Each structure stands twice: as C-alpha cells, then as structure tokens.
Chains A and B, each alone.
Chain A
C-alpha cells in the first residue's frame, strides 16, 4: 500500500499570503494519479486538483498542483478567507486508494 505523508501538519498564514503544501509518497505514484481536496467541517471534501496538476471544474486559478513520482505540491498563490481549511492529497494509481493525513491551513 502506498503511504502518503503530508507536510507541514499545520500552516499558519494570513490572507493574501502564499501557501505551499507538500505530499510525499512511499513509492512512485503511477501516471501522476494524485489528487488534492479541500475539506471543511460539516461538508464533503471538494476536489481541487487531479492528475497532479489539472484543476477541477470551477476551481479558481489561485490553486495549482505540481510534481511527479513521489513528490507533489499544492500551491495556493494568494489565500482568500474561504481557503482556510484542511487539505488532503490522495493517490489513485494503485488498486487501493490512499489519502494523506492532511494539512490544516489556519489563519495566523
């Protein structure tokens, strides 16, 4: 099973700042089958990025994904108030999917 490790655990930033979130896989993720989600309390997760770098429909262009192999990054170029949430990476390249443990982006 592929294990995903996200860092940092918590990111304390102010609105307007840039957020850089990391997701490292224990083995190579085939075909860059890596997705990112935003999750807020009481809601279902929201897909942001799939295929490591493709934005999902309706996602603002301040969200971008990059990386391949075992190292992936989600960047939020300028944080808006609604972006403060928990972010998860997910790999779907193996027959069993796995999620990272999450990064909380909180208001500084």
Chain B
C-alpha cells in the first residue's frame, strides 16, 4: 500500500526556518509528483507547490516564492519542504500529497498524516 509518513510537530520562532519531511513507500517514488498543501487554523486548504522527483523540478505558489524550497532524496524516497522567514501566518497543518502518474498537475488520493507547525515567540 501507498504510505506517506511525515515528520513530527514543530514549534518555531518568527524569522526561523522550517523543514518538513515526507517519506514515501509502496510505489515507485520517481514516477509520481509530490505536492504540499497546508491548512491554517480556521482556514481552507492552500496549495503550496510541487516537486517532480524524476526531473527534480519544482513549481511553487506565487505567494510563497522566495521563501519555499522543495527537494527530494531518491535514495530514501523522501521529499522535503523548507519554508524560511517564518511568520505567525505560517502556523498550519502541512500535508504532503502524491500526484498522479506522470503528471505534475494532479488530484490527490494519497496524503501524509499532516505535520502541525506552530510559529510563536
């Protein structure tokens, strides 16, 4: 079965950087894009960006450009999402979600369990 296992909850100070990992199993890692989606408290879902593990290419939401970086480690089937210059508005649950075979634009069947990130001084 497909499993996406994310790293644990984090508490960060404003201005700090964050890295969340998502370890994939149960499928051919390079064949599917990986997306990141977040949900701030009381808010809706927000698409953050996508990485193609095979091509190592990324596309980010315009709103996060300059602060977000996605990377992958094919040896461990893990993708990483880094967000810098954190602010209180970045407090959210962060999800990784697997895209569909061969496409970077996609719906999502498989999701990670979510990582709660709290930005507070």
Contact = CB atoms under 8 A, between A and B. Distances in A.
Interface of A: 1, 33, 35, 37, 39, 44-45, 47, 50, 56-57, 86, 88, 90, 92-102
Nearest to B105: A92
Contacts of A93: 105
Interface of B: 35, 37, 44-47, 49-50, 59-62, 95, 97, 104-109, 111-114
B62 A95 contact: no
Contact of A96 (B62, B97, B109): B62
A99 B47 contact: yes
B44 A44 contact: no
A interface, over-half SS: loop
A99 B109 contact: no
A94 B105 CA distance: 7
Contacts of B106: 92, 97
